[in-house]
Amino acid sequence: MQMTDILPKEAWQALEQEIHERYGLNARVYDDKGFTFTGHTTWANRICPAIKAQPAGVSAICSVAHSAMAAEARSTSASVVSECDAGLLKICVPVMVDGLMVGVVGGCGRFLDQGEIDAFMIEKSAGIAEAEVEDLCSGISAMTNDEAETVAAEIAERVDAILRDFALRR
């Protein structure tokens, strides 16, 4: 089963945009292999697009965090709230059909509680100078752990509604 069997790509794009507007996150929908498929991009800050512009940054920071959190979501069938190695909030909500994870809905890009950016990690993995990292991180908003858990629960409710509609169409 594919995510596009549940909803068309455009509907997943609309959900990404809604998550971005409502929660100020880099909203993403991934397939079961961890790849984005909507072609839609939202940015919550200026550092994330700079990291993603560097293949080493994507593989050392973004992909590692997504893989670990998606694996936890797959094994627990529950939402996961944590931080990436750069020090930014990441939320993964599994999309489960017949007990199998077919994708993930979530977002990232804000500070969790009183979190800090790991400028050294970003410099070493993405090749962005620490001073530039600090500049690109100015203005990033924070979210408490309770707020992040609430966001994850609200996204999970949205996914559950989508899956209920899908089940009725099956």
Domain CATH for 17? 3.30.450.40
Position 33 in a domain: yes
Position 150 in a domain: yes
Which residue segment(s) compose the domain that 83 sits in? 3-44+62-114+142-169
- Counting the structural domains of the chain, the total is 1
Position 89 in a domain: yes
Position 163 in a domain: yes
Give which of 110, 56, 57, 106 is closest to 83, Cα–Cα. 110
Instruction: Please give the average pLDDT of every successive group of 10 residues along the chain, which has 170 residues.
Output: 97 98 97 94 96 93 94 97 96 97 97 92 94 94 97 98 94
In this prediction, residue 65 carries a pLDDT of 93
Specify the pTM: 0.94
Residues contacting residue 169 through CB under 8 Å, at least 6 positions apart: none
Position 124 in a domain: no
The end-to-end CA distance of the chain, in Å, is 12
Position 56 in a domain: no
Which segments within 60-99 are labelled E, that is strand?
A: 80-83, 89-97
In this prediction, residue 114 carries a pLDDT of 84
Sign of CA dihedral 37, 66, 109, 113: positive
Position 120 in a domain: no
Taking the C-alpha atoms of residue 38 and residue 14, their distance in angstroms, rounded to an integer, is 10
Position 98 in a domain: yes
